[in-house]
Structure 1
Amino acid sequence: MRYKIGDVSRILGISTDLLRYYEKKGVVTPQKDKNNDYRYYDTWDINFLIDCLWYKNFGFGIQQAAYLVTECYHGDLVSLLEEKQSEIEANIRRQQLLLGRMKKHLDDVLRVKDCIGVCEIGQSPDIVCYLNRFNFTYDNRDELLDLSRQWLDYMPFTQRYFEIPQDGLKGEGDDYAWGFSLSTEYVEALGITVKPPVVHNPSKMCIHSAFKSSGKNAFTPRHLDPILEYASKGGFKIKGRAQGNLVCSVLEEGVMTGYFEVWLPLE
């Protein structure tokens, strides 16, 4: 049985352009009708095309699939399959990390509303962080641009991270800094080097709480005043800067509202 190019395209669900490409690569050798120049394919050709689709669905490129079907010796086939297996395993590890990160983010989003204004004593997370915005100014020195882009590439494993210095907590200033934080569990997995300006913030005993801020440029250290009042009434002494992260931003009553989680370290 002979099949025209359109018939093969319908049988296999591939474009005629791809069929012509495989012909160019020698995967198939259709017979040409001398009278009308039509190409005719037989089942032998279709078998090779199915083999190409087999490898393509493993993630091999079109050109590589054509090579595997027409020019590949046994040793080369084993090497290429082992290489692809390693690539798939790496992708699975990445997807497992991504799934874990999604579960953690969903959990944070679900519970943050219940944490607003609630103060608890507990351990802060063990993180590494990188600050690159101070108040409204980004530190865009040339020597830091590559590092900043690297941290953008680490998303979504990172969190939007902020720090408020102790004088801001005391009401003596309104400065703050923004950047990114990353749980130490991801540091090795992502191959991150921890050296200045990237720093390690180990877990410490803190007051933990959450707050929200609505509208443009409304973020301020004064959002932490209720937490400081809790510390004062409880006889707790704050030691060092506050650190926290943006959990999510949502629309509330027509205004974008950020939900933030924060830790204030104790003596």
Structure 2
Amino acid sequence: MYTIGQVASFLGVSRDTLKYYEEKELVKPKYDDQNGYRKYNQFDIHDVVTINFYRELDIEIKKIQEIRKSKNIDDLEYVLEEKEEKILEELEYKKLLLKQIRSVKEDCSKIKEHLGKFTVKEMKPLEVKGEITDYTAYNEYEILRNSTENLKKAVTLTSARRVIRFDREGIKDDKFIIVTKVEDTDKNLKGEVHAYPKCIYTVVENGRAVDGGKSIDHEVGERLLKIAQEKGYELVGIAYINILLTMYEDGLERVFLEMYSPIK
């Protein structure tokens, strides 16, 4: 027979854990009538080992209680299948989370490399999933949740693109599309695909901390035309703008946007 302290020591669990198991009637050591100490026998210790194993599988105490009462191995198998399904869902979410983290890290690198500079870069294929009226059309955000890869709680704007059409006289019109990146393995594309092998590319900064949150439309049209003329490029007359990252300075946002403007 062993005391609770001895069991806690050689099984590597706390006394409180063992007492909790007792409260839930998962283990029932005998009490010494003379001193009131708990006495664990080999069967009690086996119960603790088994309970710890199920807990390590992240099976809830209530489920363990049900397993102990059941005589059918199918009941245990059902519990394990439930847990397996939940873990697989969590793994998929963790993969998405990791993908998002890596994407934000890439955006940080883009900002450091391209902020305020102009270069020629490919705009990789984007499949159009839908449209919204504006970034501030919050009642239309459902399409952002349903049409793109998002986190569980966060609605992200990284899949939204502002598409501006312009000429030498200025901006003609613009719209906001919801897109998803086209992977090499994608075969069943349903939406319109936008892709350009050569674009004038830059990263610009906007937001209340920078310019009071004024429109960046001055970056489109006149400035792009000037850059194109200096470099000898002929613009198509379209610009794709999307939010890369938002940071804060003295409580005011600094918004970094990337812009692709296709050239012929």
Q: Same fold (TM over 0.5)?
A: yes
SS in 2 for 1:28: coil
SS in 1 for 2:160: strand
Count of residues in Structure 1 that have an aligned counterpart in Structure 2 = 250
Extract unaligned runs of 5+ from structure 1: none
CA deviation after TM superposition for structure 1 residue 120, in Å: 0.6
Q: Distance in 1 between matches of 2:55 and 2:177?
A: 41
Q: Distance in 1 between matches of 2:41 and 2:168?
A: 79
Q: Distance in 2 between matches of 1:256 and 1:153?
A: 24
SS in 2 for 1:236: coil
Could you say which residue in structure 2 is the equivalent of 1:213? 206
Q: Distance in 1 between matches of 2:42 and 2:56?
A: 21
Q: Distance in 1 between matches of 2:193 and 2:81?
A: 40
Pair 1:12-2:19 in alignment: no
User: Structure 1 length as normaliser, TM-score?
Assistant: 0.69
Partner AA of 1:120 in structure 2: V
CA deviation after TM superposition for structure 1 residue 118, in Å: 1.6
CA deviation after TM superposition for structure 1 residue 56, in Å: 1.9
CA deviation after TM superposition for structure 1 residue 106, in Å: 0.8
CA deviation after TM superposition for structure 1 residue 17, in Å: 7.0
Pair 1:204-2:196 in alignment: yes
SS in 1 for 2:254: strand
2:181 to 153, 177, 183: 183
Could you say which residue in structure 1 is the equivalent of 2:97? 98
User: Structure 2 length as normaliser, TM-score?
Assistant: 0.69
Taking only aligned residues, the RMSD between alpha carbons, in angstroms, comes to 4.2
Please tell me whether the aligned partners of residues 210 and 260 of structure 1 are also in contact (alpha carbons under 8 angstroms): yes
Please tell me whether the aligned partners of residues 128 and 183 of structure 1 are also in contact (alpha carbons under 8 angstroms): no
Could you say which residue in structure 1 is the equivalent of 2:51? 52
1:144-163 → structure 2 map (5 Å cutoff): 144=140, 146-150=142-146, 154-155=150-151, 159=158, 161-163=160-162
Q: Distance in 1 between matches of 2:77 and 2:71?
A: 10
SS in 2 for 1:257: strand
Extract unaligned runs of 5+ from structure 2: none
2:243 to 227, 243, 246: 246
SS in 1 for 2:259: strand
CA deviation after TM superposition for structure 1 residue 171, in Å: 2.7
Pair 1:115-2:114 in alignment: yes
Partner AA of 1:210 in structure 2: V
Distance 1:245 1:145, change over 3 A: closer
Partner AA of 2:165 in structure 1: Q
Q: Distance in 1 between matches of 2:174 and 2:161?
A: 7
Q: Aligned residues: percent identity?
A: 19
CA deviation after TM superposition for structure 1 residue 46, in Å: 3.4
1:1-55 C-alpha deviation (Å, 9 max, x unpaired) = 2545x886786235477324530xxx32343567898765444223223322212
CA deviation after TM superposition for structure 1 residue 126, in Å: 2.3
